[in-house]
Amino acid sequence: MYLYNSDDKYPPLNGVEVSLPEFKEYKCQGGKKIIMKAHFGHRVYKDVNIPIPYTGKILLGDGFMREYYIHMGFQRGWAYKKLIELVFEEGILLECNDLSHIAKAQREAMAQGNINPQRPDGDILSKFVDDSFSLDYADKAWWME
């Protein structure tokens, strides 16, 4: 669990002490390696194991496709090569669904319909902007139904 506390006070959680996030190494074009040392003030608690009675769905994306970048709000699920849906009830993971094929189908449908997700038509612009800042599952996953 990642946290940032402006007071820089991080007490133990469920018996777990806080630590700095691990440094990440990234490979750039030309083979150059960059090590991200900055943690931007965030701290991490590992293996806290605190049950959360969450009921709902969470979308996880990996392999963001830059051509679908939208310069506001939160990115769309279909902008990721790999898209996973987690379904929880009272904190218990019930389902883990790979929806990558549905995301791919949505990208293909947009391409066939000459739809540019970065420049929506004027009549849907207001809804597009609202949906961009929404974290509501119905706004982010309407295309999967």
Structure tokens at 128: 């597009």
Distance between CA 16 and CA 84 in Å, rounded?
A: 29
pLDDT tens for the 145 residues of the chain, in order: 778 787 888 899 999 999 887 766 666 666 666 565 555 667 888 999 888 899 999 988 899 888 877 777 777 888 899 999 999 999 989 999 999 999 999 888 888 876 666 566 666 666 767 776 777 777 767 666 6
Distance between CA 76 and CA 132 in Å, rounded?
A: 8
What pLDDT was estimated at residue 25?
62
Distance between CA 5 and CA 53 in Å, rounded?
A: 24
Q: What is the pTM of this model?
A: 0.62
Structure tokens at 62: 């990996």
**Parallel, antiparallel or unpaired: strands 2-3 and 43-44:** antiparallel
